[in-house]
């Protein structure tokens, strides 16, 4: 990921203000990673764990906070409102908790149902943010599954290599 290619709101904020995002991680007792993509992942994980307080911290460091507040008729002293309709509200934290309990198949079915609902109500921002949240969770699980599969394949190749080496050593010892 590079600065100009943020995938969602959290990516955008973290990639635009990495030192401030690192400060948020430190505030909650975590050591921030050095690589920007790892920093984004760490902040997203913190959002999943802590929810609304972290979202408020992210809103406070939003790169265009002042501009958004001015454009929406709010002054910067008025509230933590950033105008970006963050997908990680309190309701979304509850949704994430629910998603963590679903199997991969159930999650896929839930995503398909939400997508159908969103087609019927394209102006429903809450529903659209739920679709985005469930899609992010599906992508995260897919990556996690791929990593486990890759690790298992690497372990298998290591066992084969050790077996071949052991066979060569035994064969030479017997000759």
Is pLDDT of 71 > 90? no
Is pLDDT of 96 > 70? no
Q: For all residues of the chain together, what is the average pLDDT?
A: 79
52-61 and 9-16 helices, crossing angle to 10°: 50
Tokens of 152: 């298992």
SS3 state at 23: helix
Q: What residue spans define the domains of the chain?
A: 1-86, 88-175
Least confident of 58-62, 63-67, 74-78: 74-78
Is pLDDT of 81 > 60? no
Given pLDDT bands bounded at 50, 70 and 90, which one contains residue 32? very high
Is pLDDT of 61 > 60? yes
Segment 126-138, tens digit of pLDDT: 888 888 888 888 8
Burial, 21: exposed, middle or buried (Cβ in 10 Å; 0-12, 13-18, 19+)?
buried
**49-74: buried (b, 16+ CB within 10 Å) or exposed (e) per residue?**
eebeebbebbbebbeebeebbeeeee
SS3 state at 103: coil
Can you give the pTM of this predicted structure? Answer: 0.42
Given pLDDT bands bounded at 50, 70 and 90, which one contains residue 79? very low
Given pLDDT bands bounded at 50, 70 and 90, which one contains residue 43? very high
Given pLDDT bands bounded at 50, 70 and 90, which one contains residue 93? low
Given pLDDT bands bounded at 50, 70 and 90, which one contains residue 91? low
Given pLDDT bands bounded at 50, 70 and 90, which one contains residue 39? very high
Taking 3-state DSSP, the helix, strand and coil percentages for the chain, each rounded to the nearest 5, stand at 75, 0, 25
């Amino acid at each position: 990921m590079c600065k100009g290619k943020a995938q969602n709101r959290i990516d955008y904020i973290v990639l635009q203000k990495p030192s401030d995002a690192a400060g948020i991680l430190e505030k909650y007792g975590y050591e921030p990673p050095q690589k920007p993509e790892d920093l984004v992942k760490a902040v997203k994980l913190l959002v999943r764990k802590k929810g609304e307080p972290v979202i408020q911290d992210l809103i406070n460091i939003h790169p265009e906070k002042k501009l958004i507040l001015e454009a929406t008729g709010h002054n910067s002293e008025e509230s933590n409102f950033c105008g970006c309709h963050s997908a990680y509200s309190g309701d979304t934290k509850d949704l994430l908790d629910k998603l963590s309990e679903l199997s991969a198949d159930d999650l896929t079915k839930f995503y398909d149902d939400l997508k159908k609902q969103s087609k019927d109500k394209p102006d429903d921002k809450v529903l659209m943010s739920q679709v985005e949240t469930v899609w992010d969770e599906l992508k995260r699980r897919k990556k996690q599954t791929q990593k486990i599969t890759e690790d298992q394949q690497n372990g298998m190749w290591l066992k084969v290599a050790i077996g071949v080496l052991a066979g060569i050593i035994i064969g030479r010892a017997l000759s």
